[in-house]
Amino acid sequence: MSVAARGALHHVELRVADLDRAVAAWGWLLGELSYEPYQRWDDGQSWIAGGTYVVIEAAPLDGVHDRRRPGLSHLAFHAGTTADVERLWRAAPAHGWAQLYADRHPYAGGPDHHAAFLEDGERCKVELVATTR
């Protein structure tokens, strides 16, 4: 791993109820965003891009995530061009992701913010932001 700038995100760890379902959905999405498989163990897996990695791990306690309650709302990723975002938006349902805000897509984040909003099977939301035309 390279040395990252002070304050840069090191990693994100998401706890899930259904590890197999989450690994399938997140593995597809992270692969599409140029993350590569990094580590694997009985209760989890991680993917890395640059100096940042994402961990998907089986939760040791029961419970339900609700992004609308206090806590984490969503993760936002730079997703490339507007064409890249649209390709991911169209492909996501076949990989375990629900499309959010379809009536306002791709400007649910505002008129100058081209993005796709998706939700996995455990209601964890991601925002895929077009950062280049």
Asked if pLDDT for residue 2 goes beyond 70, the answer is no
Residue type at 27 in one-letter notation: G
Q: pLDDT tens digits, residue range 63-115?
A: 888 888 888 999 999 999 999 999 999 999 999 999 999 999 999 999 999 99
- Give the tens place of pLDDT for each residue, 14-39: 999 999 999 999 999 999 999 999 99
Mean pLDDT of 40-44: 97
| pLDDT of 1 above 60 | no
Q: How far is the C-alpha of 93 from the C-alpha of 70, rounded, in Å?
A: 27
| DSSP 3-state of 119 | strand
Quote the pTM value: 0.92
Q: Return the number of other C-beta atoms located less than 10 Å from residue 55's C-beta.
A: 18
d(CA 35, CA 25): 13
- The fold adopted by the segment(s) 11-129 is 2,3-Dihydroxybiphenyl 1,2-Dioxygenase; domain 1 (3.10.180)
| Domain chopping of the chain, boundaries | 11-129
Cα–Cα distances (Å) from 87 to 42, 83, 123, 128, in that order, read 32, 6, 21, 11
